[in-house]
Amino acid sequence: MTLKNFFTRALMVATAILLTACGSRIDNLMETAKYAVGGDGDVSLSQQQISDYPYAAMYANLADKPRALLALGYNDNGHYSWLSGSAEAFVTYQGRIVATEGLPSNILFTSQVHDDPLGCWQQQRANCVTQWSRYIDLTTSYSRHQQTLTETQRLTVNSSFEQQAEEAIELPDGQTINAIHLVEHGMVAETKQSFTNHFWLEPETRRVIKSQQWLGHQLGYLSLLEVKPYSADIQ
């Protein structure tokens, strides 16, 4: 199955799951997910709402846009599809965004995901490598003659990683976790553009509870914060 077909399937399944929620209490909670990335006003759930919420969820901030809620729609062998109420979608693998849909600029594909040092740290293996090279297929939208055009570029990205001191992360459910802080310094070979990603890992399960990830030159950084963990990640 190609990534395009995989992502189409994942998006359809995630949409179906989100749209088939029933009951007035769940319906009220689902209203909070209707805020798109870059929509009007920050989404904020109370601790009781988080406890009652039926899905794993994350807050998402794109650059300086208002905060949105992403709900987990589908898990395909570790590729998690997260969906906003307006069908912006993000596929994560081991906490890293590897594909997106519905944004002005989208990541269509990320290669070499199984070699990502982030996964090595999560699996608590010894002697994790600190260098990683991959390519991404990135779409960019632009206007010409009153038309919106899209072009796709294949970009080579080289990164190095370092672990920094633990940092206290306050989660929306009221927990404060002394998280492992990993910093990724990246460079796009073709454009010489540099970026810095941050990942904060819960020390017991090693799941990513917070991150700041670069989505490309058009969108900049997306910040993610765990609202409610996926049950499979805390077992």
Q: What is the pLDDT of residues 115-156, one digit of tens each?
A: 999 999 999 888 899 999 999 999 987 777 778 788 999 999
Q: Estimate to the nearest angstrom the gap between the alpha carbon of 188 and the chain centroid.
A: 20
Evaluate whether 72 touches 53 at the Cβ level (below 8 Å): no
Q: Above pLDDT 90, what percent of the chain?
A: 63
Q: Sheet harboring 221-228: ordered strands across?
A: 96-101, 89-93, 79-83, 68-76, 57-62, 221-228, 208-214, 194-201, 176-188, 147-170, 131-144, 107-110
8-12, 26-30, 140-144, range with greatest mean pLDDT: 140-144
Task: Say yes or no to pLDDT of 5 above 80.
Answer: no
Contact between 224 and 58 under an 8 Å Cβ cutoff? The reply is yes
Q: Identify the band that residue 48 occupies on the pLDDT scale cut at 50, 70 and 90.
A: very high
**Picking from 36-45, 53-62, 191-200, which range would have the lowest pLDDT averaged per residue?**
36-45
Q: What is the pTM of this model?
A: 0.85
Distance CA(18)–CA(23), nearest Å, equals 13
DSSP 8-state code for residue 233: G
**Residues 80-103 pLDDT 10s:** 999 987 778 999 999 999 999 989
Structure-block tokens of residue 144? 């010409």
| Better-predicted residue by pLDDT, 3 or 23 | 3
| pLDDT score, position 118 | 97
- Walk me through the domains of the chain, giving residue ranges and CATH numbers: 3-233 (2.40.360.10)
The neighbour count for residue 216, using CB atoms within 10 Å, is 22
Q: Which has the higher per-residue pLDDT, 218 or 184?
A: 184
